[in-house]
């Protein structure tokens, strides 16, 4: 892809999941980078096997790009995606709101500690050619009450900016351009210099107590409890613990507080 030619963006009123739709297009023989955005997803998918509720008003988008990078070389892709999404969403916010926009390792976008967007990166390698897919879900003009309990502490862009300014299609185009740009640069040149520092500068809960749960064990016992020290050169989260520094490649990071959830507080 050349930087001057935007990739094709397919816009659909409704789909099961934009990641699944993109996968089907790849398997049907797509050759050029493309994106899929849907107004509504009926079976949106989140990280760690979770579902992702996707009503009208959100930005549900998947960016797909062929890659010559191996799976291990592609380890930083979720982090690059988070940085590109953070930069794009930051531009949508009034100046006063921007400092609160943080990246929750590896790639959630939080505003004031609440989840504004999530990212699901997948690799497809069934056609003799490997593809990177970056799916992003942004709670744009969405009533967070309608998201149920699948997203903990969600926030919607509509509480941060004028609702009249929120156009899911326009935001989808901006996010798609930014993500395609980041993937094309990474495919051609590798990790841009300064990536990990940029990530560390935007990280949520840096120097704060955190817990890490193993992928798929959300709600279960924490695997690691300590203080978030940053990210290493490979983009792994570094957690300072009583047993030394732990470098973690995957899992579910959370603030470590002793505060009880409201439902638990009302229990006798």
Contact residues: ligand BTN, CB under 6 A: 17-19, 41, 44-47, 50, 52, 54, 60-62, 108, 118-120, 135-137
- The answer to whether residues 9 and 176 touch, using CB atoms and an 8 Å cutoff, is yes
3-state secondary structure of 135: strand
Q: Closest separation between CB of residue 65 and ligand BTN, Å?
A: 15
How many Å apart are CA 193 and CA 191, to the nearest integer? 6
Q: Closest separation between CB of residue 265 and ligand BTN, Å?
A: 26
- The answer to whether residues 110 and 104 touch, using CB atoms and an 8 Å cutoff, is yes
**Does the CA dihedral 185-189-191-192 come out positive or negative?**
negative
Q: 199, 177, 187, 59: which is closest to 132 by C-alpha?
A: 187
| Nearest to ligand BTN of 18, 211 (CB atom) | 18
Q: 141, 144, 135, 134: which is closest to 53 by C-alpha?
A: 144
Q: Closest separation between CB of residue 135 and ligand BTN, Å?
A: 3
Cis amide prior to 219 (ω within 30 degrees) = no
Q: Closest separation between CB of residue 100 and ligand BTN, Å?
A: 18
3-state secondary structure of 3: coil
| Nearest to ligand BTN of 52, 205 (CB atom) | 52
| Nearest to ligand BTN of 50, 214 (CB atom) | 50
Q: Closest separation between CB of residue 101 and ligand BTN, Å?
A: 16
**H, E, C per residue of 48-78:** HHCECCECCCCEEEEEEEEECCCCCCCCCHH
Q: Closest separation between CB of residue 147 and ligand BTN, Å?
A: 11
Q: Closest separation between CB of residue 188 and ligand BTN, Å?
A: 25
| Nearest to ligand BTN of 171, 229 (CB atom) | 171
| Nearest to ligand BTN of 215, 260 (CB atom) | 215
Q: Are strands 8-15 and 34-41 parallel, antiparallel or unpaired?
A: parallel
| Nearest to ligand BTN of 7, 229 (CB atom) | 7
Q: Centre a 10 Å sphere on the Cβ of residue 127 and count the other Cβ atoms it contains.
A: 14
- As to burial, measured by CB atoms within 10 angstroms (0-12 exposed, 13-18 middle, 19+ buried), residue 12 is middle
| Nearest to ligand BTN of 39, 229 (CB atom) | 39
Tell me the residue number closest to ligand BTN, measured at CB: 118
Q: What is the CA radius of gyration of the chain?
A: 18
């Amino acid at each position: 892809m050349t930087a001057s030619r935007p990739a094709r963006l397919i816009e659909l009123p409704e789909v099961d999941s934009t990641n699944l739709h993109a996968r089907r297009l790849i398997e049907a023989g797509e050759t050029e980078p493309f994106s899929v955005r849907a107004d509504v997803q009926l079976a949106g998918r989140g990280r760690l096997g979770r579902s992702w509720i996707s009503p009208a008003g959100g930005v549900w988008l998947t960016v797909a790009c062929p890659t010559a990078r191996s799976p291990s070389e592609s380890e930083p892709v979720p982090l690059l995606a988070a940085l590109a999404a953070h930069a794009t969403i930051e531009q949508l916010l009034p100046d006063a709101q921007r400092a609160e926009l943080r990246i929750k390792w590896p790639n959630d976008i939080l505003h004031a500690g609440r989840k504004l967007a999530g990212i699901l990166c997948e690799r497809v390698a069934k056609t003799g050619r490997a593809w990177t897919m970056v799916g992003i879900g942004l709670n744009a003009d969405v009533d967070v009450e309608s998201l149920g309990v699948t997203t903990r502490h969600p926030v919607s862009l509509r509480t941060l900016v004028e609702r009249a300014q929120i156009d899911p299609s326009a935001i989808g185009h901006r996010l798609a351009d930014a993500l395609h740009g980041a993937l094309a640069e990474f495919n051609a040149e590798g990790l841009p210099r300064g990536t990990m520092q940029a990530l560390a500068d935007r990280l949520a809960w840096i120097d704060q107590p955190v817990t890490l749960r193993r992928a798929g064990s959300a709600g279960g016992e924490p695997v690691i409890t300590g203080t978030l020290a940053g990210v290493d050169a490979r983009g792994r989260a570094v957690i300072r613990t009583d047993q030394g520094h732990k470098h973690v490649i995957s899992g579910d990071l959370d603030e470590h507080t002793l505060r009880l959830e409201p439902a638990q507080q009302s229990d006798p």
